[in-house]
Structure 1
């Protein structure tokens, strides 16, 4: 089918359309006019595409996506959408038009991959900054409280051993600032990991939070990890276990195939909420801020570990990291 000749001015518009393609298609979804002569994305020749239907031009997956939208356009509904084709993102705008009492569609497409990727990265950065602010407030609260308590004890008793407690707590603050900044930037790499004892790190984490009368049981095993970040992971798990399970809860840490677990004897988490608990800001009770398990998942991801939530033998929460 011959395409309609265009006046020189319109031909110039079609041929020089910046970073995009102009198409006039008919009710049979046949391309009647297309330009520029060499398409900027695929380098296909426009003359090879004129007169062909949509199904002759694109693979089935693309046709399945485009066909209903182009038919809507013929029926008078304008469409605006992104689509992925050959690894690149394209933005399409369509409008209906009447020519000699026949319905046609005008399609404009531009390649927007870089713009979309930049927007997505900015969104991810903003999300990380928001989470970072919450994480700093959440994880620094406990060691600062310990430092203040030790300082009060020193003022009351004059026992310089309390100053060692202040120093330890402030050292933990410094470690957390470094680690949380690294998490926010996703900068920790495998090269920074070392072989560490799960039992030793779990017990260090246990000492650094208010565990009331709760009990910790550990099994000896080792893992490649960043020591301080793994301690932060356990601190958040233990704080969550004691907060939900009460002062007499028992927490267990031990190995599983290709990873480790941490479980408690508390109330557990209902199956319908087990994915939600990792979402930033989600909380169920005890006045938690809703960022502790977000931190847990972020640290796990930073160590290439998948975290899943199940049930302990007593019905409490069981976190597995593999």
Structure 2
């Protein structure tokens, strides 16, 4: 009889034990069952990390073979057309248009490669956190990823414990996602839910980023965290996958819900989404 089960240690941790039992009822010296156990917590963690790395390699393979290949083909074709038109005086005026298209293809490849590198880094577990001013980090992220026609609203922003750089990366991806899928005029709100005290004497909140854009159908909300999933023509499909990886690296849970609050007439908002990060520790 073999089993692998976690058990609760008196110190509150949950180590994993591998146990093997033997029936020795027929042994006159024992006349009972013998169970040998060993702790394999570290081994299981290594196995999970190896699986995560293998999953990331599969994502990268998929992107290189498909998503990256598409703009590469566009770049090659456009380069050939530009070269042909340059040789023909009657068509030389079309060269700038080809070069613009070539530039867009190169920018697209650069964005995809950057996102892949970010995913490889952000999957790593956050070893240490520090007190982070949520409002200043959100404004720094907005400066990098906010749209020209969009508005940032800070509803409630306490000091939280996080890796500041990776938190900013998470917010940048959420802001970019909100502005990318809206033509203009979107309002993006950053806030937190009510403070909850936990059993280990810490206080946690839910950190949310919501917008009043077109929203996401409920039957697609689980898919948006899959690597490569995007409804935007120029999206890499890695934005929310990166958000989920950074959240999990902090030990947070992430989900998509309807926006909170209500309109002045009491009706719930009929557009937009809220990305909610649960389990964020207050500093």
Q: Residue 284 and residue 301 in structure 1: after superposition, are their counterparts in 2 closer, same or farther (change >3 A)?
A: same
The separation in 2 between residues aligned to 1:284 and 1:163, in whole angstroms, is 26
Query: Per-residue CA shift, 1:208-259, capped at 9, x if unaligned?
Result: xxxxxxxxx51146998688886665565667x58xxxxxx77724233266
State how far apart, in whole Å, the 2-side matches of 1:151 and 1:228 are: 34
For 1:120, which of 48, 68, 87 is the aligned residue?
Answer: 48
The answer to whether 1:297 aligns with 2:244 is yes
Tell which has more relative contact order, 1 or 2 (C-alpha 8 A, sep 6+).
2
**Deviation per CA, 1:13-70, whole angstroms, max 9, x where unpaired?**
xxxxxxxxxxxxxxxxxxxxxxxxxxxxxxxxxxxxxxxxxxxxxxxxxxxxxxxxxx
TM-score by length of 2: 0.52
- Other-structure match for 1:198: 142
Any conservation in 1 of the 2:2–2:18 contact (CA below 8 Å)? Answer: no
Q: Which residue of 1 aligns with 2:211?
A: 262
1:209-288 aligned at under 5 Å gives the runs 218-220=150-152, 241=181, 252-257=186-191, 260-265=209-214, 268-270=216-218, 274=221, 276-280=222-226
For the residues of structure 2 that align with 1:93 and 1:181, how far apart are their CA atoms?
42
**Aligned in 2, Cα 1:119/1:238: closer, same or farther, shift over 3 Å?**
same
Could you tell me how far apart the structure 1 residues matched to 2:223 and 2:52 are?
20
| Alignment partners' CA distance in 1, 2:73 and 2:186 | 25
Q: Which residue of 1 aligns with 2:113?
A: 177
Map 1:141-160; keep pairs closer than 5 Å.
155=85, 157-160=93-96
Q: Is the 8 A contact 2:187 2:211 kept in 1?
A: yes
Does residue 51 of structure 2 align to residue 107 of structure 1? no
Measure how far apart 1:161 and its partner are: 6.1
Decide which structure has the larger Cα Rg and report it. Answer: 1
Cα distance change of structure 1 residues 179 and 136 upon mapping to structure 2, 3 Å threshold: same
Q: Is the contact made by 2:16 and 2:40 (CA closer than 8 Å) also made in structure 1? A: yes
Aligned to 1:80: 3
Shift of residue 202, structure 1, vs aligned partner = 3.9
Q: 1:303 and 1:123, CA in 2 relative to 1: closer, same or farther beyond 3 A?
A: closer
CA contact (8 A) 1:253 1:260 kept: no
Structure 2: stretches of 5+ with no match in the other structure: 86-90, 131-136, 158-163, 193-207, 260-267, 278-283
Q: Which residue of 1 aligns with 2:196?
A: none
Take 1:231 and 1:142, find their aligned partners in 2: how far apart are those partners? Answer: 25
Q: Tell me, yes or no, if the aligned pair for 2:153 and 2:189 is still in contact at 8 Å.
A: yes
Which residue of the partner structure matches residue 48 of structure 1?
A: none
TM-align CA RMSD: 5.3
TM-score by length of 1: 0.47
Give the paired residue count. 222
CA distance in 1, matches of 2:151, 2:101: 27
Contact kept? 1:297, 1:307, Cα under 8 Å: yes
